[in-house]
Structure formats: C-alpha cells, structure tokens
C-alpha cells in the first residue's frame, strides 16, 4: 500500500499468481481507503503475532513432553531390568532362570 510521489494512492494485490496495482486516486476518499487498508494490515499483523506466540508456547510444551517421555522410558527400562526382564527384538521378555550345575 503506497502513495506515489504525486499523491495518488495505489495498492498492490496478487491475483491468480500475478501482482496488479489497484488505483484509488487522491483526496479524502483515497485517504479513507488507505486508513482502512492500514487498519486491516495492523489487524493481520496482530493476529500473526498472536499465532506466532501460540506456536512457540505449543513448541515449548511439546519439548517438555518429549523430555518427560524420555524420563518415563528410562524409568521403565530400569524398573524392568531390575525385575529380571530384558529386551529381545524390541520386546520385553522375562529372563530364563539359569541352572546352577
């Protein structure tokens, strides 16, 4: 959205993959349209900022859950190993009792 050197207001719009310029003229009507476009742009930027903050919050939460998942896996591994299990091809199995011959 821009005013040219002569005081005319234009807006660039992308339609069907091509950028075109919309002409709004000059004077009070063009200023009104420019303010409306600026207001819409500010609203889009505020919404984008809020969405970015929400994405960051969710990413932080996801990282915390990943750490909790790793901790839980380690705790289960230790508990099962202590209980006499071992991993065989990704499955937990009870160890066979060793004969004392």
42 in a structural domain:
yes
How does pLDDT run along the chain (101 residues), one tens digit per residue? Answer: 587 778 888 888 889 999 998 888 888 888 888 888 888 888 999 999 999 999 999 999 999 999 999 999 999 999 999 999 988 888 889 888 765 55
Report pTM.
Answer: 0.53
91 in a structural domain:
no
**Domain total for the chain?**
1
| Residues 26 and 9 sit within 8 Å (Cβ to Cβ) | yes
pLDDT on residue 54: 97
78, two tokens? 């230790």
Q: Domain range holding 58?
A: 2-85
Burial, 9: exposed, middle or buried (Cβ in 10 Å; 0-12, 13-18, 19+)? buried
90 in a structural domain:
no
21 in a structural domain:
yes
31 in a structural domain:
yes
63 in a structural domain:
yes
| Residues 12 and 21 sit within 8 Å (Cβ to Cβ) | yes
pLDDT on residue 89: 87
pLDDT on residue 68: 97
- d(C-alpha 39, C-alpha 47), whole Å: 12
């Amino acid at each position: 959205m821009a005013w040219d050197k002569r005081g005319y207001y234009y807006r660039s719009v992308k339609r069907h993959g091509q950028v075109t310029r919309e002409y709004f003229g000059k004077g009070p009507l063009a200023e009104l349209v420019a303010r409306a476009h600026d207001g819409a742009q500010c609203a889009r930027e505020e919404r984008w900022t809020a969405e970015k903050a929400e994405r960051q919050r969710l990413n932080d939460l996801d990282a915390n859950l990943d750490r909790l998942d790793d901790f839980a896996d380690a705790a289960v591994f230790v508990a099962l190993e202590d209980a006499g299990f071992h991993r065989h091809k990704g499955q937990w199995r009870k160890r066979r009792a060793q004969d004392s011959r």
